[in-house]
A and B are shown apart, each in its own frame.
Chain A
Amino acid sequence: GEDVEQSLFLSVREGDSSVINCTYTDSSSTYLYWYKQEPGAGLQLLTYIFSNMDMKQDQRLTVLLNKKDKHLSLRIADTQTGDSAIYFCAEIPGYSSASKIIFGSGTRLSIRP
């Protein structure tokens, strides 16, 4: 099937690290993405990782990719209140004839003081 799976909710204390996990479906997916959606807003591309990489770091964001298990994670260091949002994991399957992004249902990240 075409299900990208994520847990629905994550609550972390301000200043701690957040880790959002995702399982994707297609081992031939070339790029895997993390998008952020704040209330009432569209999707913001946060970062992406190419399938031949294991890890990508971009300031407070670290993406880890385990191709064998088709597992992707996003770590946000020093989580701040502005990080409260829904985070979507996404892939473009290699079999797709168009740039058809398949999204997970999103993980709602809330920050505790």
Chain B
Amino acid sequence: ETGVTQSPTHLIKTRGQQVTLRCSSQSGHNTVSWYQQALGQGPQFIFQYYREEENGRGNFPPRFSGLQFPNYSSELNVNALELDDSALYLCASSLGLAGGPKLTDTQYFGPGTRLTVL
């Protein structure tokens, strides 16, 4: 067990709605990354936050947005949900030392939130 928790575990929404997913990082970790894992695929990087600022983004539209709080917990918000947004959403935390996250920082994954869009 990594100490990274996510809520809720499952969620069902309809097309056009908005959703907020939550992640609590492993104690002491200041960096969080979010991934989308469609059925039968590997996870795809959405974005990363370090000390409350976005620190890199993958190929996802602006309706995917995030927040990181002073306690380093994080939210992923998705607006105007589409059917293709149905997936497992994973967050991963890591410890970025002075100077910011390094490519070599090990990321620890939570169990994910399964989002179904009808």
Contact = CB atoms under 8 A, between A and B. Distances in A.
B58 A100 contact: yes
A105 B103 contact: no
Interface of A: 4, 30-31, 35, 40-45, 48, 88, 90, 92, 94, 96-106
Nearest to A89: B42
B107 A103 contact: no
Contacts of B102: 99
B103 A104 contact: no
Contacts of B66: none
A94 B103 contact: yes
Interface in B23-41: 31, 33, 35, 40-41
B107 to A, nearest CB: 7
B42 A104 contact: yes
Contacts of B4: 42
B103 A99 contact: yes
Contacts of A92: 103-104
Contacts of B103: 30-31, 92, 94, 96, 99
A48 B106 contact: yes
A53 B2 CA distance: 26
B74 interface: no
B41 A105 contact: yes
Contacts of A101: 33, 35, 43, 45, 92, 107
Interface centre among B43, B44, B47, B101 (most CB of A within 10 A): B43
A99 B94 contact: yes
